[in-house]
Amino acid sequence: MYIGRFAPSPTGALHLGSLLTALASWCDARAAQGKWLLRIEDIDTPRIQQGAVEHILHSLEHYGLYWDDEVSYQSQRTCYYQQALDILQHKQLIFWCTCSRSQLAQTGSAIYTGQCRTQQQFKANAAARLAVPQPNCLIQFNDGVFGAQYEDISQTVGDFPLYRRDSIFTYQLAVVVDDALQGITHIVRGADLLDNTARQIYLQRCLDYQTPFYSHIPLIVTSKGEKLSKQTGAKALDFTNPSATLWQLLVLLGQNPPKPLQYEAKEDILTWAINHWDLSNIPATLKLITDN
């Protein structure tokens, strides 16, 4: 059975780019007659904005993107992340890094150089890093939009953190554990996460998890060529005309909705989208440039 998910971080209100990804993920699940789960990725507590969760839920409902089952929250699932970390510790696949940010910066390399690899026993005030095989660790996968992907994570990221020095589990660990425990079979998400996929697949293998099928949706960019995001000042969603917005997003996703459809009720637009959904029509780049 197809099980997909949408997993926003409550660091601000949903904007047009995040709605685009949600719509693509929802359509892919519904067209496959599968389940679509909603997960709030609130593990990085210092970045959470008050009221963001409520805005996300209201936004999805306003646009007719209803989810199955109860909403899950990463902040309530830390016991599972600790269990996964314990497994990796038992397998001697992690080590405890006491390097500060300034020390790492002094190496002059964006790739972790393995200074603490011999520290395999737990240390207080240390980060847990997953040891990546050297000198090569080539990960290959087929993306539903971008096709064949190859990345040697030993040369691009090196040993990457799963647990931070401030006692917060990292995104990489939390998302891999959640996807496995929730039985996620298909992941449709933004292309800004494409470069995370190889290391997540490697972590899945270390934990003996199944690897979902990945599809990454191209990003909407601003007139400056920047991705539309909270960091670039993307505005919160406009609720005034959901039908027009949904139609516009389906055009961006290469689904070719008929022009008269934009004047129909959002429910009719979504029904049309499910019946005509074709992941292979999604372009590798988006033609719309917007500052909204």
Q: Same domain, yes or no, for 274 and 183?
A: yes
* Rounded (5°) CA angle 33-38-39: 140
Domain final residue pick, 172, 190, 220? 172
Tell me how many degrees the CA angle 109-112-115 measures, rounded to the nearest 5: 110
User: 125 and 110 in one domain?
Assistant: yes
Residue ranges making up the domain that contains 98: 78-172
pLDDT class of 226 with cuts at 50, 70, 90: low
Q: Are residues 69 and 26 in the same domain?
A: yes
Which two structure tokens, joined as six digits, stand for 103? 């020390």
Q: What three-state secondary structure class fits 142?
A: strand
Do both 271 and 204 map to the same domain? yes
pLDDT digits (tens, 9 = 90+) for 269-285: 999 999 999 999 999 87
User: What percent of the chain has pLDDT above 70?
Assistant: 92
For the segment 145-155, what is each residue's pLDDT rounded down to a tens digit?
999 999 999 99
Closest CA to 187 of 57, 21, 60, 16: 21
The total number of structural domains in the chain stands at 2
Let me know if residue 149 belongs to a domain: yes
Q: Is residue 168 part of a domain?
A: yes
pLDDT digits (tens, 9 = 90+) for 82-137: 999 999 999 999 999 998 887 777 776 778 877 899 998 888 889 999 999 988 99
CATH of the domain at 7: 3.40.50.620
Alpha helices in 91-221 (DSSP H): 101-106, 153-156, 171-181, 197-206
DSSP designation for 156: H
Q: What angle do CA 198, 149, 217 make, to 5 degrees?
A: 85
Q: Please state, in angstroms and rounded to a whole number, the distance separating the CA atoms of residues 215 and 2.
A: 14
